[in-house]
Amino acid sequence: MLIDMPLQELEQYRPALTAQEDFDAFWQQTLAVSNAQPLDASFELLPTEEYAYVADRVNIYNVHFNGFGEGTRVAGWYLVPKADYRREKDGKIPTIVQYHGYSGGRGLPSAYLHWALQGYAILAVDTRGQDGDTPDNHQYVEGGFVGFMTKGLLQPEHYYYRHVYMDCVRAIDVVRSRPETGPIFITGGSQGGGLTLAVAALAQDKGIVAAMPDVPFLCHFRRSIEIYSAGPYQELVDFWKRRPHTVEESYRTLSYFDGLNFAPRISCPVLLSVALMDTICPPSSGFAVYNHLGGEKSLRVYPFNGHEGGSNIQEQEKYRFVHKLLQG
Amino acid sequence: MLIDMPLQELEQYRPALTAQEDFDAFWQQTLAVSNAQPLDASFELLPTEEYAYVADRVNIYNVHFNGFGEGTRVAGWYLVPKADYRREKDGKIPTIVQYHGYSGGRGLPSAYLHWALQGYAILAVDTRGQDGDTPDNHQYVEGGFVGFMTKGLLQPEHYYYRHVYMDCVRAIDVVRSRPETGPIFITGGSQGGGLTLAVAALAQDKGIVAAMPDVPFLCHFRRSIEIYSAGPYQELVDFWKRRPHTVEESYRTLSYFDGLNFAPRISCPVLLSVALMDTICPPSSGFAVYNHLGGEKSLRVYPFNGHEGGSNIQEQEKYRFVHKLLQG
Amino acid sequence: MLIDMPLQELEQYRPALTAQEDFDAFWQQTLAVSNAQPLDASFELLPTEEYAYVADRVNIYNVHFNGFGEGTRVAGWYLVPKADYRREKDGKIPTIVQYHGYSGGRGLPSAYLHWALQGYAILAVDTRGQDGDTPDNHQYVEGGFVGFMTKGLLQPEHYYYRHVYMDCVRAIDVVRSRPETGPIFITGGSQGGGLTLAVAALAQDKGIVAAMPDVPFLCHFRRSIEIYSAGPYQELVDFWKRRPHTVEESYRTLSYFDGLNFAPRISCPVLLSVALMDTICPPSSGFAVYNHLGGEKSLRVYPFNGHEGGSNIQEQEKYRFVHKLLQG
Amino acid sequence: MLIDMPLQELEQYRPALTAQEDFDAFWQQTLAVSNAQPLDASFELLPTEEYAYVADRVNIYNVHFNGFGEGTRVAGWYLVPKADYRREKDGKIPTIVQYHGYSGGRGLPSAYLHWALQGYAILAVDTRGQDGDTPDNHQYVEGGFVGFMTKGLLQPEHYYYRHVYMDCVRAIDVVRSRPETGPIFITGGSQGGGLTLAVAALAQDKGIVAAMPDVPFLCHFRRSIEIYSAGPYQELVDFWKRRPHTVEESYRTLSYFDGLNFAPRISCPVLLSVALMDTICPPSSGFAVYNHLGGEKSLRVYPFNGHEGGSNIQEQEKYRFVHKLLQG
Amino acid sequence: MLIDMPLQELEQYRPALTAQEDFDAFWQQTLAVSNAQPLDASFELLPTEEYAYVADRVNIYNVHFNGFGEGTRVAGWYLVPKADYRREKDGKIPTIVQYHGYSGGRGLPSAYLHWALQGYAILAVDTRGQDGDTPDNHQYVEGGFVGFMTKGLLQPEHYYYRHVYMDCVRAIDVVRSRPETGPIFITGGSQGGGLTLAVAALAQDKGIVAAMPDVPFLCHFRRSIEIYSAGPYQELVDFWKRRPHTVEESYRTLSYFDGLNFAPRISCPVLLSVALMDTICPPSSGFAVYNHLGGEKSLRVYPFNGHEGGSNIQEQEKYRFVHKLLQG
Amino acid sequence: MLIDMPLQELEQYRPALTAQEDFDAFWQQTLAVSNAQPLDASFELLPTEEYAYVADRVNIYNVHFNGFGEGTRVAGWYLVPKADYRREKDGKIPTIVQYHGYSGGRGLPSAYLHWALQGYAILAVDTRGQDGDTPDNHQYVEGGFVGFMTKGLLQPEHYYYRHVYMDCVRAIDVVRSRPETGPIFITGGSQGGGLTLAVAALAQDKGIVAAMPDVPFLCHFRRSIEIYSAGPYQELVDFWKRRPHTVEESYRTLSYFDGLNFAPRISCPVLLSVALMDTICPPSSGFAVYNHLGGEKSLRVYPFNGHEGGSNIQEQEKYRFVHKLLQG
């Protein structure tokens, strides 16, 4: 059944942006602080007996680097094919940076073999505090509802995703620090899609050649909250149930982190996927982003899928998209 | 329908304790660290126009004090009746310390008027990180599943509730620091019930005359996780879904925080309530605690209630229990 | 997610009234019958040992009076502070009359201490037949679906709520019969909110100084039934499933009991609360009432709450509203 | 999945009866009162244009008679085949008396054509207060939870089902008062099954030749309430949630109305059906009844059906059972 | 709550047809193939001991005939009243042909006694593959999602319902082959309603005097799929989740089987019922059909019923409709 | 919460087998028929532009072969690494044969790249009729409930899974027919796990070196149906609801297809995974199989996972298991 606007309306849906006047200043200043902070990246080769089944083809590193601000070391997996198994572009390896969905973590390195064995390097990074190996040690000034969505919600400087977005930008610096790294593709689904959009806007000077967000979360908050019926937007709602007077103040904070406002600031090619039955990240939020993208862009619409999106089909679309861009 | 053992079995249910050998040492050392840390409590009288409707009868203070460890100021409300409205025991005011349920916060001070207007002082404190005004700024070493149950789960020293339990003990010090404070009663439901049990065991030398835990959470973890079908035990399960190899290690940590193990260490009188249809904090976990309590104890069983427990009925039971104890 | 119109539309929503031509005649005649019927109120002081914990401050009476028509004695609790604990207005005690929500009852007297200990008298009355101590002994002419909503639905004279509304008006007479009674405030949530509106319209000559309905039920039936997705409106729907030909006849009956039609007939000040996620009493039904109120009025909107409404926050709003009105 | 004991255990399950000592006295006295009360039955032939489609074969009467106690006229439909379409036994028409399920009513007369057109007379009666044309005008002494299960629960004399059971017995007198009536068969499903059992025990001297209860409700209350997960037993539970101290008193009342206690008092042949996945009327309650039946008895077990029971299959079993008994 | 357009809009709702240009050609050719195929109908009288209870009044035959295409014998029950119990029209018996709902089967013959004992003959037929005694042995070229809705979906010639519709038309030939058969009425609910509409359009030259579809399925696919929230349209959605690129191709196939496109091709009188809360076969799909019917037509609207529709009430409407048509 | 026996009991759980006396004869005869039927396998290289992104490393073939019996061509994908990317054992490629879960299909070939790029060949085959490209064209003799579980249920020779099991055995012949094929590993989850067990027992003479079933379906039917609460066992239950008299006959059929009975007939090494919260394929059914396995065996238990099982963790376990076996 229809859960949002009909497709014809979605295709035309281009709502007003919600960025505050100091949106760009806010991020320039945040980036300046982040850039000034040492990365201190470490790459530890995993014991090969742990992945003996594929150690002849791929090297797997346990990566750590300083997250934004004090106290948080971010963990990631870096998989890089051995010489005979590499795909190369101008003598460098095209590299994927992947962000994960809400409440997840980097998981097992074997989950990324499908990219590595095709010849790409890949860095998969944790989201701080979430169910990986990375804590969130920012010093907050108040509590929040169960989950991450409302941590520091009342002030943009303290909002949880300010730190997450910077961690994700810093992950680009991490791969950029490797001599073998060639063109960088960024991707992720759901929260990972929202992070992909933010990084595409905030780190476009760092060699990102394309962004591939799927069913992105953290986009067009006001509309999403009117339409969603499952998933973590509920945390905001639960927070507001107890603090009804903070709604507008919260939306002001969220505007700094809204994929809608990042969209017109993205210049690299984007391959976006949207699912029309997505009750977690409603399709109108994805179309709103898409219709504001200014650069080269492609859309994949899954008319009867929910938040699982295109799954294997979209995965293959991304293989083709990356391969084609590298050919061009 | 029956969700746990029949009542007759519950009444006899007295499972083995799960405390590790160093259980007491762990807490003695933790208490020593906590006791050595300054409290730095502040009491700020709220602007009386905020509660003009009752300001002739009650003073309301916004309280803050240092939580356990670095970086966390714990917030609370302290309501104390004015002279004409006080109940006294040996020239001092009997005082209630109340802990709240999982995912909540201290809320509004007006929520505690029912005690204050009966003539008691009351301190209602936040649980760090949860939906109040108190952050959780402990420096963790890894992430966790959405929620608080799995923060620092793999090491007792880092487990979230180690800090919470100490914050709650320190709240006793906070009221004890007031000259007007007389005998202290501690109470709370669900998580607040679990905290009441922990504080009754860990702070019994601080003038606590009775504990009144309702439908306590954080008790008899192994059994609770076999029986529960709703509520935050699910967070542990979700964590273990992704990390199946950490189950035993986690249970070891949890044993240090289990109300079951605190029960035989409680010497003050206890009024406990249990609901036989409680699918969040199963009745067998409450009975297990009750049957291990060594001191004076009373039980209120609500045969057809769920986690809401006895609600108003139990509230009145507590009014009577406090009043009677003070008469005695 | 949005469950009804957006806020901007709600603020303008002022649907046509549905009152039949003889609406006022119907109620005048009903009131005449009721006024002619003896009240026969009894006030029995509860044994003080039942509430020894607060008997030094408050007197608690078990109240009974003749409900509308034959055979139904309505029960209530009347709490009145002792001399030293009273708040007074012109030498009389301001008094709250409280109506409860659907399927409930007066409950325990201790549930009303928060008002009594602030210095007010309070009468909390049962709704006949529902889960209190009051039967519904009206002689009906047919059966109905499980619940109370469809009892006598096919004729306004026999409709259940005709008797309930009159019982509620008679409760005002009950407190008015006490020598200590000063200005009367009426309040209630959900069904209690609907009753508050009806009484405010039907008993405004009896010294009611303000009405405080929360998330009112029994308002704007046609719209509510289009929008609701939970709660007792379902009883009407279940009745109509088996008797599809009675829908219009039923709506005609309901029009006599609709808060929408009472709204323009209310002259005392009103403090109304509405929750925008209320799936039981949809927000458009509350706004429809509010926008038809003719007298002094204030609105509290809870944008992300459901039928629980503003809970403690709204409770405090009412404390302030009562206090301020008495100051004025 | 299994929702109660395995079949082998059910077949042996014969729990202790729960009848109080004065069980038989209670019912003898109740029957005496009922028998002393005039029936005042009226049979009004429906306008034949309402059922012109079958008026050449069947007469349909709208029946009313005095229910037990004051003020309640019970409605029913009486269908009797015309001369050419009758089945006869010793010159009289075998007659079905049918009781309906909880929350229902007699419905439309056309719903009983399947019996009438086979040649039987049939009387289908309302249950007072429920969704038919019959009110429940007993004068109760208190309210109850939404529904009928808790009306008058605290005193056997006032319990709702005391009146219902007597209405059902009186319905036998109603058909017995017709000159054409031959042997009587009683039947019903769910509540109708419970009523069938009660009538079989209480009215066995009135010419009932067999009872055919399906998936009976109102049987073995304690066990049913331990096992059920849907349906009206929940009303008792909801009542007890607010009045936890009345549980034992309530069970005492219920013992007078429990099909379990009627079972050994039934002497006519019984055809009983039970469904092993019945979560409303658990199979162990049906087997408990069956295993206590003293007379001739047959059981139909539906291993994978829920409360819908054997539906058409069982309906045909009843056609065969009636036909065969009449042959014999 | 409202689940589709308001009634006023429904009454005007007359969407564009979706028939392809070769819609009629497709069906003419299909009918030609079907008509050329031998029926080979067999009528086996059931052993009368199986239905001894009614064998003096009715004959029951187990019917089989060749379904459309190779390999599928379709099963049905044929009940015909004995001489004394027949209703006649011009010396022939008016006959009902009934199609069943999705996932069902012909069930027990006793389920059709209500028609037979009124004096009509009735043929109740299986739907191939579904839960009756008839397999679906068409040779498909690919698999499909669990269920029948997606079998052969990508080509109209192979679509499951092409065969089902022809089986249903052939069932008319089956009764027509009986010497006793008079005027034919066709009916069914849900899927049976969709089949009734298809047969009314495709077999109108075979002596069908009226069609009585209830809450018809298989109508106005695009709208239905936008509005439904339960039932077998979900199978299409699940199929499209995995094959998103086949949506338009599938809708093209479905257009050949859409009741919407059959509506203007029906010339016999139609009695249609629609339920406004039907979440399986949304009311707008029923109204769309009704508003396109060109011949004599009547509508029964059940405003608060779901997919159960008018149940007994509608059943009686059909008794009256048939009876009246035969009188005229 | 616990959904089946505690782990200690599971580890000892070894129920009686349910194989009929002619179990082995049944399968020998079935295998004989199958072996006598030509395979007629075709391998069509996919157009490389469809998988240009990886065509330099892998060849992908669209495979078809004759399924068991008449009329059904089974589809599969065969991926084989190019020379430089192969892993070899004695000059041949170790090959995976993978069966999918209930209601699925072979999906996209890119879903199998993770194995192919590690150097293995892999054949992924459809299950007939299910949501792939393979029809089920067996000629059945009756219908069944929605789904595949009840097709032909009343006779072992006609049961759906007889044909599926043979298709799966024939898939082994398909890879065996390739000159490059070395040792064969078979695997699959859920239904794929059940198929793996059946093939391991029935095709052990065809060069299968190990079987890796995950959370297997189709095992220990009686127990599974007592414990399951979701998934396709429900189809059997729905079938039995309408045909209660066929239960034992059905269980007899199922015994021929029960993984429990195949277990002691498996001689190759088995790596089995079981999830203790699996409500679709209950853990006791998996343990029952494991405890009856006679050969070399390893178990992976996921204590808090449901039917998703060990997911990535188990996937890696299989990589390691295969790699280690090939080393040995």
Say what the pLDDT of residue D172 is. Answer: 98
CA distances from E177 to C263, E123, E171, E214, E265 (A): 69, 12, 10, 27, 25
Q: How many CB atoms lie within 10 A of CB D188?
A: 28
Residue B310 one-letter amino acid: G
Confidence of residue F242 (pLDDT cuts 50, 70, 90): very high
Query: By CA distance, what is D313's nearest residue in F?
Result: F242
Contact A143 B130 (CB under 8 A): yes
Residue at F160: amino acid letter: Y
- Chain F: give the shortest CA distance to residue E192, in Å: 16
Interval F84-88 mean pLDDT: 96
* Chain E: residues touching F (Cβ < 8 Å): 71, 103, 105, 107, 126-137, 139-148, 150, 232, 238-239, 242
Is the confidence at residue C154, as pLDDT, over 80? yes
Closest CB from D110, D315, D322 relative to E110: D315
| pLDDT tens readout for residues F21-73 | 999 999 999 999 999 999 999 999 999 999 999 999 999 999 999 999 999 99
With beta carbons under 8 A apart, name residues in chain F contacting B228. Answer: 1
Contacts by A80-83, CB closer than 8 A, 24 or more apart:
A80/A116, A80/A121, A80/A180, A81/A57, A81/A116, A81/A117, A81/A119, A81/A120, A81/A121, A82/A56, A82/A57, A82/A58
Q: Would you state the pLDDT for residue D328?
A: 76
Q: Is the pLDDT of residue C328 over 80?
A: no
Of the residues C100, C138, C220, C307, only one is catalytic, namely C307
Mark yes or no for CB contact C244/E310 under 8 Å: yes
Provide mean pLDDT across the span C63-85.
97
Q: How does residue E204 score in pLDDT terms, banded at 50, 70 and 90?
A: confident
pLDDT at residue D159 tops 90: yes
Contact C281, C190 (CB under 8 A): yes
Nearest CA distance, E249 vs chain F (angstrom): 16
In this prediction, residue B284 carries a pLDDT of: 98
Closest by Cβ to A1, choosing from E227, E244, E247: E227
- CA of B268, closest CA in chain C: separation in Å? 21
User: What is the pLDDT at residue E192?
Assistant: 98
Model pLDDT, residue A1:
84
Judging contact as 3 or more Cβ pairs under 8 Å, the answer for A and D is no
Note the helical H segments in chain C: 7-12, 23-35, 113-116, 160-176, 191-202, 221-227, 233-242, 247-255, 259-262, 283-292, 311-327
The pLDDT of residue E328 is 76
Question: Is the CB of A305 less than 8 angstroms away from the CB of E241?
Answer: yes
Q: What local confidence, expressed as pLDDT, does residue F58 receive?
A: 98
Give the chain E residue nearest C279 (alpha carbons).
Answer: E1
CB contact under 8 A, C108 and B323: no
Q: Please give, rounded to a whole number of angstroms, the shortest distance from the CA of D310 to a CA of chain E.
A: 12
Beta bridge pairs of residue A304: none
| Active-site residue set of F | 190, 278, 307
Neighbours of chain D (3+ CB pairs under 8 A): B, C, E, F
Q: Report the neighbours of C using a cutoff of 3 or more CB pairs below 8 angstroms.
A: A, B, D, E
pLDDT at residue D86 is higher than 80: yes
Examine the pLDDT at B195 and tell me if it is beyond 90: yes
With CB atoms and an 8 Å threshold, state whether E139 touches F71: yes
- C273: nearest Cα among C320, C232, C233, C237: C320
- The percent of residues above 70 in pLDDT, for chain E, comes to 100
Of E57, E108, E315, the CB nearest to D316: E108
**What is the separation of C-alpha A187 from the centre of its chain, rounded to a whole number of angstroms?**
6
Catalytic site residue from C136, C163, C190, C224: C190
C127, C151, C156: which is closest to C20 by C-alpha?
A: C156
Q: What span, in angstroms and rounded, lies between the C-alpha atoms of E221 and E258?
A: 7
What is d(CA F150, CA F165) in angstroms, rounded to the nearest whole number?
15
Taking CB atoms and an 8 Å limit, are D111 and E312 in contact across chains? yes
Q: Alpha helices, DSSP H only, in chain D?
A: 7-12, 23-35, 113-116, 160-176, 191-202, 221-227, 233-242, 247-255, 259-262, 283-292, 311-327
If you average pLDDT over residues D27-48, what whole number do you get? 98
Structure tokens at E234: 């979900």
- pLDDT value of position E121: 98
Partners of A98 in the beta sheet? A124, A187
Distance CA C303, CA C274 (A): 8
List, for residues F10-33, the tens digit of each pLDDT value. 999 999 999 999 999 999 999 999
CA distance A148 to chain B (A): 7
Q: Is the pLDDT of residue F204 over 90?
A: no
Give one word for A207, left, alpha or beta, with left for phi > 0 and alpha for psi -120 to 50: left
| Average of per-residue pLDDT across D283-304 | 97
Judged against a pLDDT cut of 80, whether residue F136 lies above it is answered with yes
- Whether there are 3 or more C-beta pairs closer than 8 Å between E and D is yes
Task: Give DSSP secondary structure letters for B111-171.
Answer: GGHHHHTTT-EEEEE--TTSSSS-------SS--SSSSTTTTTT-GGG-HHHHHHHHHHHH
Let me know if chains D and C touch, i.e. at least 3 Cβ pairs under 8 angstroms.
yes
Place of tokens 């060069």: F207
Spell out which residues of chain E touch residue D77, defining contact as CB-CB under 8 Å: none
DSSP class of residue C54 equals T
Give, for B23, the enclosing helix (H) or strand (E).
Answer: helix B23-35
Which chain C residues contact residue B323 at CB under 8 A? 52-53
Whether pLDDT at C1 is above 90? no
- pLDDT for the residue numbered A63: 98
A interface test, pick of B100, B127, B130, B142 with most A CB neighbours within 10 Å:
B142
Judged by CB atoms closer than 8 Å, whether chains meet at F1 and B240 is answered as: no
- All domains of chain B, ordered by start, with CATH? 39-327 (3.40.50.1820)
Q: What is the largest CA-CA distance in chain E?
A: 61
Closest chain F CA to residue B239: F304
E98-153 tens-digit pLDDT: 999 999 999 999 999 999 999 999 999 999 999 999 999 999 999 999 999 999 99
Residue A114: its H or E element: helix A113-116
pLDDT tens digits, C302-317:
999 999 999 999 999 9
pLDDT of residue A204: 86
pLDDT tens digits for E2-53? Answer: 999 999 999 999 999 999 999 999 999 999 999 999 999 999 999 999 999 9
* Sign (positive or negative) of CA dihedral D49, D54, D58, D61: negative
DSSP F161: H
Structure letter (DSSP) for residue A89: B
| Residue among E4, E126, E278, E284 flagged as catalytic | E278
In the numeric block, the tokens 């199963």 are attached to B282
Q: What is the DSSP letter of E148?
A: S
Task: Tally Cβ neighbours within 10 Å of residue E40.
Answer: 9
Tokens matching residue C245: 């030909």
Q: What is the mean pLDDT of chain A?
A: 97
Q: Which of F228, F229, F241 is nearest residue D304 as measured by Cβ atoms?
A: F241
- Neighbouring CB atoms inside 10 A of A92's CB total 15
Subunit partners of chain B (3 or more CB pairs within 8 A): A, C, D, F
Chains in contact with chain F (at least 3 beta-carbon pairs closer than 8 A): A, B, D, E
Cross-chain residue pair D310–F244, CB shorter than 8 Å: yes
- When pLDDT is averaged across residues B101-130 and rounded to a whole number, the result is 98
Rounded mean pLDDT, A87-116 = 97
Among C241, C254, C279, the strongest candidate for a mutation testing the E interface, having the largest count of E CBs within 10 A, is C241
Question: What's the gap in Å between the CA of B147 and the closest CA on chain C?
Answer: 21
State the pLDDT at residue C100: 98
Measured between CA atoms, how close is D295 to chain C, in angstroms?
A: 36
Chain C residues within 8 A of B308 when measuring between CB atoms: none
Give tens-digit pLDDT for A60-86: 999 999 999 999 999 999 999 999 999
pLDDT interval class at E1 (50, 70, 90):
confident
Task: Verify whether the Cβ–Cβ distance D114 to E114 is below 8 Å.
Answer: yes
Q: Is the pLDDT of residue F328 over 90?
A: no
Within 8 A of B108 by CB-CB distance, chain C residues are: 312-313, 316
In this predicted model, what pLDDT tens digit does every residue of C195-250 receive, in sequence order? Answer: 999 999 999 899 999 999 999 999 999 999 999 999 999 999 999 999 999 999 99
The C-alpha atoms of residue B254 and residue B245 are separated, in whole angstroms, by 16
Verify whether the Cβ–Cβ distance A1 to E241 is below 8 Å: no
CA dihedral of residues A166, A168, A174, A177 (deg, nearest 10): -80
**Do residue F240 and residue D303 have CB atoms under 8 angstroms apart?**
yes
Rounded to 5°, angle at Cα D189 from D185 and D190: 140
β partners of residue C298: C271
A265-299 residue pLDDT tens: 999 999 999 999 999 999 999 999 999 999 999 99
Angle at F212 between CA A114 and CA F236, to 5 degrees: 110
Q: Torsions phi, psi of E204, nearest 5?
A: -70, -15
3-state DSSP assignment of residue F297: strand
Cβ–Cβ gap A57/F315 under 8 Å: no
Give the active site residue among C278, C284, C285, C292. C278
C-alpha span between C258 and C282 (Å, rounded): 14
**The pLDDT of residue D1:** 84
CA D185 – CA D39 distance, rounded (Å): 21
Please tell me which residue of chain A has the smallest CA distance to F85: A85
**CB–CB of D305/D278 below 8 Å?**
yes
Three-state DSSP class for residue C265: helix
Active site residue A278: yes
Q: What is the pLDDT of residues A21-36, one digit of tens each?
A: 999 999 999 999 999 9
